[in-house]
Chain A
């Protein structure tokens, strides 16, 4: 029988109210049982392949490579998933688990709306009820995604507490789960939260790295020299990194959002500038003041705009296996433009953080080196932000 660790070194754990403990323990048991059941895996693989369109391609970015003038750049195309990002890998997995555990009601939190849309999508497919908690500020900024979720039959509940963004939506989703714990499943959107969520989200997202590793070997004959992914909560990153953690020759880089700069107060760089603490059920790096009050994050990319990070990233930082760095709003937006013009791909602004770092590393690297980037999502959702940012520059 599968038994999962609740800690990554000293990080992780289960810091939730007693009212949730039974649900969290039940979830752990349910997930471990699913891991031992081959039919669960079969169902999961079937939906990933025939519904989401996996495996996603690995694209050699020829013109981007020429532009950088050094190492080769390869893109893992999570943007080509159904609903436009890696988020669907996790929602398919968790919703199948919910069904298996007899829970017909899904509760989810969302920032930009990508996880909310992915949750609403799978709820529709499996005939489940879906409530999505979203900060009032994000509801306003992401009106189109709100409409998408509603079109898919989900109920979007605006959250008016605190900073009215993702962290508050997560608080409210947890509160809603407590109140409806008997028939509801909390479908968390990133590799955060109390055990077993970080383990579970990693399990559902590791398909990214598993595929990419095999594709690199098949298409290029060797492993990449560097692997890069953006890190908010860190689900696409942990999904990509897991396949390479034991390949010690492969350098791994996680890219956080530096927002307006690491020397300003407006960033979302929990690993680079935060310190350990407890937020949303786990012990990890978080942004908090000297009194332990959580500080709202800032990033132009709503998906990275979160003051915490998954506990396994905290561990990978501490043991030095992954190098974590940060890219500013400005650098990310420049990378958006470059990828559009050179490769005909509009990336999500989240993914553009990883791209920016990839271009920088590639330009310093040799032609013998190969850099694998997780292109976690497409930029359709970001049209408003991108247009606003380049106002005057792009007609």
Chain B
């Protein structure tokens, strides 16, 4: 299994898709991971559904709500990853979770289980640098990277945050929550340059990236591009088809088509 930082060199593309684990089902999530891996993505963010996702916009909120209705838990997310590994797929997997489900599970146990089931990175959107020591220490023990977020408003905090970054640095494209939008922060370019200047690991940009034009543009400025809500929206539009055995393959093809389009 390649390390997270290496993923940007060794994989075919620098796309990092985000999906909500267990949405629409645990089984389909596993199929998505294989599909995305076969398109050569750099890594996959697997979102742990949470009841109160303050950093997320309406699409990911709704998908998380639907996953929670089916009882998807952190333990299920580990078992999804484990299944993918057991099936011989070594695509880098990044666990995206709010802090409370991790705390509730126990940080030490989370780190150990995550390592065992094959996660190489963690993103915790409501855990700023100042509060992150406890988790980072546990993750370091098992060789998992804690990927920090930086925002266009981080300013003098950027250097401090990037100093402990592992894996990659997640640059938030604009203020607000995750979700499709047409414009990024007006200072995005200088912000990305600032992060680049202080970071010793690759930088990836996300929040609101939904079209291939945006992906093309951001690829020039960052090492990786994260697409979440736009992909989850596509999955949501195909929810019924994905749960119908006769139509599932067609729906998966359509999602593959969307990923290819993003990269075209």
**B150-162 near A? 1/0 per residue, CB < 8 Å:** 1101110100010
Q: A15-B127, A292-B105 are in contact. Are A23 and B153 (CB under 8 A)?
A: yes
Residues from 292 to 315 in A contacting B, C-beta threshold 8 Å: 292-294
Q: A179-B176, A291-B74 are in contact. Are A17 and B154 (CB under 8 A)?
A: no
Residues from 109 to 140 in B contacting A, C-beta threshold 8 Å: 125-131
Q: Which residue of A lies closest to B155 (CB)?
A: A22
At the interface, yes or no: B40 with Cβ under 8 Å from chain A?
A: no
- Closest approach, in angstroms, between the C-beta of B122 and any C-beta of chain A? 15
Are A22 and B68 closer than 8 Å at their CB atoms? no
At the interface, yes or no: B163 with Cβ under 8 Å from chain A?
A: no
Are A22 and B58 closer than 8 Å at their CB atoms? no
Q: A13-B131, A14-B131, A293-B51 are in contact. Are A21 and B101 (CB under 8 A)?
A: no
- Closest approach, in angstroms, between the C-beta of B81 and any C-beta of chain A? 17
At the interface, yes or no: A101 with Cβ under 8 Å from chain B?
A: no
Question: In the assembled complex, which residues on chain A have CB atoms less than 8 Å from the CB atom of B227?
Answer: none
Are B157 and A22 closer than 8 Å at their CB atoms? yes
**C-alpha gap A182/B185 in the complex (Å):** 12
Are A17 and B157 closer than 8 Å at their CB atoms? no
Segment of A56-64, A170-178, A334-342 engaged in the interface with chain B? A170-178
Are B153 and A16 closer than 8 Å at their CB atoms? no
Give the residue of A23, A161, A179, A292 whose beta carbon is less than 8 angstroms from that of B101.
Answer: A292
Are A175 and B54 closer than 8 Å at their CB atoms? yes
Give the number of chain A interface residues (Cβ < 8 Å).
34
At the interface, yes or no: A227 with Cβ under 8 Å from chain B?
A: no
**C-alpha gap A271/B74 in the complex (Å):** 25
Give the residue of A15, A21, A168 whose beta carbon is less than 8 angstroms from that of B99.
Answer: A15
- Closest approach, in angstroms, between the C-beta of A221 and any C-beta of chain B? 48
**Which of B51, B151, B154 has the most chain A CB within a 10 Å cutoff?**
B51
Q: Which residue of B lies closest to A276 (CB)?
A: B103
Q: Which residue of B lies closest to A174 (CB)?
A: B54
Question: In the assembled complex, which residues on chain B have CB atoms less than 8 Å from the CB atom of A293?
Answer: 50-51, 68, 101
- Closest approach, in angstroms, between the C-beta of B179 and any C-beta of chain A? 10
**C-alpha gap A281/B127 in the complex (Å):** 9
Q: Which residue of A lies closest to B170 (CB)?
A: A18
Are B154 and A22 closer than 8 Å at their CB atoms? yes
Are A18 and B128 closer than 8 Å at their CB atoms? yes
Are B103 and A278 closer than 8 Å at their CB atoms? yes
**C-alpha gap A291/B103 in the complex (Å):** 9
At the interface, yes or no: B172 with Cβ under 8 Å from chain A?
A: yes
Question: In the assembled complex, which residues on chain B have CB atoms less than 8 Å from the CB atom of A13?
Answer: 131
Give the residue of B100, B105, B155 whose beta carbon is less than 8 angstroms from that of A278.
Answer: B100
**C-alpha gap A294/B129 in the complex (Å):** 24
**C-alpha gap A172/B51 in the complex (Å):** 13
Q: A14-B131, A15-B99 are in contact. Are A277 and B104 (CB under 8 A)?
A: yes
Q: Which residue of A lies closest to B181 (CB)?
A: A179
Q: A277-B100, A277-B104, A292-B101 are in contact. Are A22 and B153 (CB under 8 A)?
A: yes
Question: In the assembled complex, which residues on chain B have CB atoms less than 8 Å from the CB atom of A175?
Answer: 54-55, 57, 176-177
**C-alpha gap A178/B57 in the complex (Å):** 11
Question: In the assembled complex, which residues on chain A have CB atoms less than 8 Å from the CB atom of B62?
Answer: 161
Question: In the assembled complex, which residues on chain B have CB atoms less than 8 Å from the CB atom of A174?
Answer: 54
**C-alpha gap A19/B150 in the complex (Å):** 7
Give the residue of B68, B100, B130 whose beta carbon is less than 8 angstroms from that of A288.
Answer: B100
Q: A21-B157, A278-B100 are in contact. Are A15 and B128 (CB under 8 A)?
A: yes
Are A292 and B103 closer than 8 Å at their CB atoms? yes
Question: In the assembled complex, which residues on chain B have CB atoms less than 8 Å from the CB atom of A162?
Answer: 51-52, 61, 65
Give the residue of A17, A23, A182 whose beta carbon is less than 8 angstroms from that of B126.
Answer: A17
Question: In the assembled complex, which residues on chain B have CB atoms less than 8 Å from the CB atom of A168?
Answer: 52
Give the residue of A171, A179, A291, A292 whose beta carbon is less than 8 angstroms from that of B175.
Answer: A179
Question: In the assembled complex, which residues on chain A have CB atoms less than 8 Å from the CB atom of B75?
Answer: 291
**A141-183 near B? 1/0 per residue, CB < 8 Å:** 0000000000000000000011000011001001100111110
Question: In the assembled complex, which residues on chain A have CB atoms less than 8 Å from the CB atom of B151?
Answer: 17-19, 21-22
**Which of A18, A279, A294 has the most chain B CB within a 10 Å cutoff?**
A18
Question: In the assembled complex, which residues on chain B have CB atoms less than 8 Å from the CB atom of A19?
Answer: 55, 149, 151, 153, 172, 175-176
At the interface, yes or no: A5 with Cβ under 8 Å from chain B?
A: no
Question: In the assembled complex, which residues on chain A have CB atoms less than 8 Å from the CB atom of B50?
Answer: 292-293
At the interface, yes or no: A290 with Cβ under 8 Å from chain B?
A: yes
Give the residue of B61, B103, B176 whose beta carbon is less than 8 angstroms from that of A277.
Answer: B103
**A31-62 near B? 1/0 per residue, CB < 8 Å:** 00000000000000000000000000000000
Q: Which residue of A lies closest to B152 (CB)?
A: A19
Question: In the assembled complex, which residues on chain A have CB atoms less than 8 Å from the CB atom of B211?
Answer: none
Top-8 shortest CB links A-B: A292-B104, A292-B101, A179-B176, A22-B153, A291-B73, A19-B151, A292-B100, A293-B51
24 A-B residue pairings within 8 Å (CB atoms): A13-B131, A16-B128, A18-B154, A19-B151, A19-B172, A21-B157, A22-B157, A161-B62, A162-B51, A171-B53, A175-B54, A178-B175, A178-B176, A178-B177, A181-B153, A181-B175, A278-B100, A278-B126, A279-B52, A286-B100, A292-B50, A292-B74, A292-B103, A293-B51
Chain B residues with a Cβ under 8 A of chain A: 50-55, 57-58, 61-62, 65, 68, 73-75, 99-105, 125-131, 148-151, 153-155, 157, 161, 172, 175-177
Q: Given contact pairs A18-B128, A292-B100, enumerate 18 new A-B contacts (beta carbons under 8 Å).
A: A15-B99, A17-B125, A18-B149, A18-B172, A19-B153, A21-B157, A22-B157, A171-B53, A175-B54, A178-B176, A180-B175, A277-B100, A277-B104, A290-B104, A291-B74, A291-B104, A292-B74, A292-B102
